[in-house]
Structure 1
Amino acid sequence: MRPDYLKRSFLGKSGDLAWFRLQCQRPLPEGVGLDSLPSEYVFPESGLAAFLTDWTDWHQNAMLTFRSSPYGSTSHALANQNAFNTFYGGQPLFYSSGHHTSFVDRHSILCHRATRAHNTILVDGMGQRIGIEGYGWIPRYYTGSNVNYVLGDASNAYGEVVSPLWTDRLRKSGVETSPRTGWDVNHLATYRRHIVELGTSGLVFVYDELEADRPVVWSYMLHTVLHPMTIGHELQALHIRAINYARGVSDAWLYASTALTADTTSQFFVPADNWLKGDADGRYASNPNHWHFTASTAKTRCCHFATIIDTHSADSKVRKPRPSKDGTIHVADWTIRLNLKADGRSFFSATNSKTGTEVTLTDRGTFIRDAGHTEILVDHLPQLEI
């Protein structure tokens, strides 16, 4: 019991909301229920997307969230364009890492805000700019009956920190912005990440188009914050598994256009020292380490990554991809044809043998066939409220 709750929280959000509820005896609005809501949302204006499987029982809900935002990484935003997170049972699996100790703490900047902390790509060890200059966007998306799709473009996100506000703020805080800490002259030309939700059962296909103006090392990253990942070679791919306390699992199979060198660590780039948040007795609890997976290529100007992710209960059967000799991949009722050649044109096609659903990347755009509906998606600029 907290009898002084309202007094202590006065003019605070929790206290004021409680006071409002006590004063306004209005019944809550009645609706048709959560199960009537769509299982997917895409907000191109803010650069956010979410796909989930079960509105009615969060205990068995598998979810993927995605960000590629035209507002960049200024204010409280993170340098995580084209990054995704996965969840099961309301808990994270593949998830952004790091601790927010303070706004310009070295660890918070270099291991929480910076790109190395997120499930996206590094270019020759270089991350995305801090500031509005490091932006992404969502050129195409589709939400439908049997398939959902979003395309994020982070081609303009990378390079040196050039924002006067942020260069001054980081300089005063003693945070170096250099190639050593992950910011360098930009050599990225294209980074487009396609995400296809294959049905509404937690199965996802991710396809990355990457090109630079010179040969670079491409580094594909995944992170966990609750348990270590397990890594292995399986089915012509790197198999990365994340688990959480809700008996949830994300299995990811990573394919690439070149050979990969994989590395995992439980150490941050900068230690997560807790120097600010102590209790009443002056004790400062230590921040736990997180786990980081990186798969890196040899230097190459172009690269393609493809990932199949199955997020599910630990009690259910894993839907493993079944690669064929011709490069086709079968998973559940889906057949995925794709180009992984480094110097080849970007291409993938995902078709369902039972429903006839299809998502195909072509030179003209992204072709969708779903429940009797067909269309070709092309790039459209979002309508920003600025």
Structure 2
Amino acid sequence: MGKLFEPVSGLLTVPYEPNEKSELKENPPRFTWMPAKPEDDRYLLQISSSSEFEADSTEQVGPLPFNFYTPDHVFEPGTYYWRYALAEEAGAAAQFCWSEVRSFVVPEHLPSTPLPTRETRYADTDVAHPRLWLQPGRVEALRERIRKDAAVCGWDVFYEKSVRPWMEKKLIPEPERYPDNKRVAKLWRKMYMDCQETLYAIRHLSVAGVLLEDADILEQAKRWLLHVVSWDPGGTTSRDYNDEAAFRIAGAVAWGYDWLHGILSEEERAAVRANLLIRTEQVAHHVIDRSRIHRVPYDSHAVRSLSSVLVPACIAMLHEEPKAREWLDYALEYYACLYSPWGGQDGGWAEGPMYWTTGLAYLIDALNLIRQYVDIDLFKRPFFTRTGDFPLYVNSPGTVRASFGDQSSLGEPPSLKTAYNIRQFAGLTGNGLYQWYYEQVKEQDKDADTKFYNYGWWDFRFDDLLYNHDYPAVQPVVPVPESIEPVKWFRDVGWVAFHRRMDDPDEHIQLLVKSSPYGSLSHSHGDQNGFLLHAYGEPLAIDSGYYIAFGSTMHRNWRRQTISKNGLLIDGKGQYAGTDKVLCKEACGLVEEVLSKPGFASVRMNATSAYRETVPYLKRYVREVHWLDDSYAVIVDSVDLDRPGRVSWLMHTLHQMELKGQVFRVVGTKAEMEGRFVYVSSGDMTLSQHDQFTDVDPSEYEGLPSQWHLRAETKETQSHRIVTLLVPMKKGDDKFVSYFIDDQDHGIHLYFTNEKGTTRMIEVPKAY
């Protein structure tokens, strides 16, 4: 019998977990391993309290269709062992070729998050329709409430703004192909919006028609649904031609089939269900057989398609199409075990707050559908109980250009869509800080529907209807020092946020730094060890550039690259941020330490690996950021090379800077900042600035305001120590922080004194 193939887990693949180094955060543990065959792999899994796997202390499950598993019961605290084998090696137990044995410890008092078995999880689900959001009994209950009060749950607003318009609008024609089948941004956006509006029309008319028992609305909903079913499922709205269009049309057909089931003829039901089955299978085939996110989880669109397509479509077809159960099982098991590939127990999201918003928008919808119909509450997992912290701390209300990653809302405050997401977690957890966030952003964002990144994803009236019906009101909690963490470390993604007075935009200071294990993968950028500073209502050290389009020259050559970040170039070269996913993941950073005490907070980050591909002679690059007395920052950069080289210290801002000697000053409309290089081991820096976007097609930013880019360059040497003082202030305050240097020993001791007479010392090793 051949040995079981046990490949080493790579940078982009699932790990072998749990193991002796695992720190479990929920009970039961989640089991993942690398596949033992390229396809048709099925497994037996053994879990035991005995390292010898004695029969009376061993649980065996299987055959399992995939290389991941969530048990249906919690484990008693203690030490356990596990192993797996290919299930096809049928026969006596002794004939199985088992994997390496791994151990793990289950501590006490973990959240209980088991997943019911495949055999039992749908036992109590209703075979009647509708199933998406409301089941028949709950439909009647809401119908009665609407009869008594048209404003209940925001119904009146939903009806006027999200239902009535679709009674009059013309049917949207099937999108046309791109010229020569080559994607054109303008036509892509039109197709995207046409399909989104089609989803709105079918979903809202169907729900309203059923709840009101209105024959005219139902007839219009049916007209829209049958019109869309006439479109070619292998054409322009297929998954392989335009996945964003496919997601929306599959969702539209799912809602229409489910809610209009009672008024469709048998022939019409069969036609709609057949269309939905084809569209769902396209997505399922890509996710499971091609993208294989259970092996390589870092496919943003594939993961999102579980929420946008597989969950609603499979719930709508459950008990009617056998494959629907198979695909729904896959989605539930993925959410219970592998989600989220972009963050961990701290609730972070490596791709940044805008992709947290889009990813979680669909996920929230899907998990609510599962919760209501299947009665499985995946929101109890630790990630979901904490992930509302991510936008709260890294995309705070009122901040602009002060967060990392791709952002279609770049240059604007947090979107209303982000606020609606965090409100959901307020309803789930009772966290009043999340409710405060929602109320602040909603108050500021008065014209949300005019923005593509809002209207193109959500209808807020429909969201209000569902949320107000399903969740209780939560009282807001203002983020004063007693209720908020002054330093927030998202260990899972390597982001650290420092805050002062988040409760008051005119007094708020946010300093955000990043050194992420995800590197520049997916929607992340080459910005390890980078920083951003927003103070007194204005961005001062910004995430520069414009969001033109994904894949534009602005995106590829500027936004993703280190040259656009508040970071370092070494001999003119930044971190790897190209198209090779392996190299992007390897170009990672690490937050080594975070300290916090009254008056002093600091983070130490290591981005050496981020330059390995581009600057192979870099031995070490560590950046320390010290946030002192809630009012100023000291940044210490230590760069050691195998040969002499120059370091360029970069910073970007919206305003032309005043440069003088070793000082640069940003003067904005509400705030200003003085930056000063207080110690540079190689001698004085050479400072310059410009307002160009290097290697970007000028037509992409024609007519847009200039941004200014500081470049401070060292002399050539093998080791560099750069200490930078940043003092933000309200415009016109003209305050400064005094300093002096003591270098009598083998280190450099720098002393800083603020306007209140408080002195802080920072030690910097000398460069030899």
Fold match by TM threshold 0.5: yes
Where in structure 2 are the equivalents of 1:84-163 lying within 5 Å?
A: 84-130=531-577, 131-160=584-613
| 1:188–1:308 distance in 2 versus 1, CA, 3 Å | same
User: Partners of 2:162 and 2:702 in 1: how far apart?
Assistant: 26
| 1:22–1:192 distance in 2 versus 1, CA, 3 Å | same
| 1:295–1:205 distance in 2 versus 1, CA, 3 Å | same
User: Partners of 1:206 and 1:45 in 2: how far apart?
Assistant: 23
Where in structure 2 are the equivalents of 1:1-386 lying within 5 Å?
A: 4=161, 8=197, 10=200, 15-23=458-466, 24=468, 27-30=472-475, 32-35=477-480, 36-130=483-577, 131-160=584-613, 184-200=614-630, 202-224=631-653, 226-233=654-661, 238-245=662-669, 247-254=670-677, 255-259=679-683, 260-275=685-700, 286-323=703-740, 328-332=750-754, 333-339=758-764, 341-343=766-768
User: Partners of 2:519 and 2:742 in 1: how far apart?
Assistant: 41
Indicate if the aligned counterparts of 1:273 and 1:286 stay in contact, CA closer than 8 A. no
- Report the Cα offset of residue 288 of structure 1: 3.1
Q: Which amino acid in the other structure matches residue 674 of structure 2?
A: D
Indicate if the aligned counterparts of 2:558 and 2:694 stay in contact, CA closer than 8 A. yes
Indicate if the aligned counterparts of 1:86 and 1:250 stay in contact, CA closer than 8 A. no
Indicate if the aligned counterparts of 1:126 and 1:159 stay in contact, CA closer than 8 A. no
User: Partners of 1:297 and 1:86 in 2: how far apart?
Assistant: 23
Measured against aligned partners, the alpha-carbon deviations of 1:258-294 in whole angstroms (never above 9, x if no partner) come to 122222111221245345xxxxxxxx96333321111
SS at match of 1:15: coil
Gaps of 5+ in 1: 161-183, 276-283, 344-386
| 1:133–1:109 distance in 2 versus 1, CA, 3 Å | same
- Report the Cα offset of residue 50 of structure 1: 0.9
User: Partners of 1:272 and 1:4 in 2: how far apart?
Assistant: 40
User: Partners of 1:132 and 1:32 in 2: how far apart?
Assistant: 38
User: Partners of 1:32 and 1:288 in 2: how far apart?
Assistant: 37
- Report the Cα offset of residue 89 of structure 1: 3.2
User: Partners of 1:194 and 1:271 in 2: how far apart?
Assistant: 32
User: Partners of 1:328 and 1:115 in 2: how far apart?
Assistant: 29
SS at match of 1:108: helix
User: Which structure has greater helix proportion?
Assistant: 2
- Report the Cα offset of residue 337 of structure 1: 4.9
- Report the Cα offset of residue 62 of structure 1: 1.4
Aligned-pair identity in percent equals 25
Indicate if the aligned counterparts of 1:242 and 1:249 stay in contact, CA closer than 8 A. yes
- The number of equivalent residue pairs is 305
| 1:272–1:42 distance in 2 versus 1, CA, 3 Å | farther
User: Partners of 2:495 and 2:762 in 1: how far apart?
Assistant: 27
Measured against aligned partners, the alpha-carbon deviations of 1:107-127 in whole angstroms (never above 9, x if no partner) come to 322221100111111111111
- What's the TM-score once normalised by structure 2's chain length? 0.37
Indicate if the aligned counterparts of 1:99 and 1:272 stay in contact, CA closer than 8 A. no
Alignment RMSD, CA only?
A: 2.6
Q: Which amino acid in the other structure matches residue 207 of structure 1?
A: V
SS at match of 2:621: strand
Measured against aligned partners, the alpha-carbon deviations of 1:158-202 in whole angstroms (never above 9, x if no partner) come to 144xxxxxxxxxxxxxxxxxxxxxxx45221111111111122x2
SS at match of 1:74: coil
| 1:328–1:145 distance in 2 versus 1, CA, 3 Å | closer
SS at match of 2:726: strand
Gaps of 5+ in 2: 1-156, 167-196, 201-247, 249-454, 578-583, 744-748
| 1:339–1:227 distance in 2 versus 1, CA, 3 Å | same
SS at match of 1:58: coil
User: Partners of 1:324 and 1:154 in 2: how far apart?
Assistant: 27
| 1:86–1:337 distance in 2 versus 1, CA, 3 Å | closer
- Report the Cα offset of residue 325 of structure 1: 7.1
- Report the Cα offset of residue 4 of structure 1: 4.8
- What's the TM-score once normalised by structure 1's chain length? 0.72
Indicate if the aligned counterparts of 1:67 and 1:83 stay in contact, CA closer than 8 A. yes
User: Partners of 1:330 and 1:104 in 2: how far apart?
Assistant: 44
**Structure 2 equivalent of residue 176 of structure 1:** none
User: Which structure has greater strand proportion?
Assistant: 1
Q: Which amino acid in the other structure matches residue 291 of structure 1?
A: W
| 1:89–1:325 distance in 2 versus 1, CA, 3 Å | closer
Looking at both structures, which has the greater relative contact order when contacts are Cα pairs under 8 Å and sequence separation is at least 6?
1
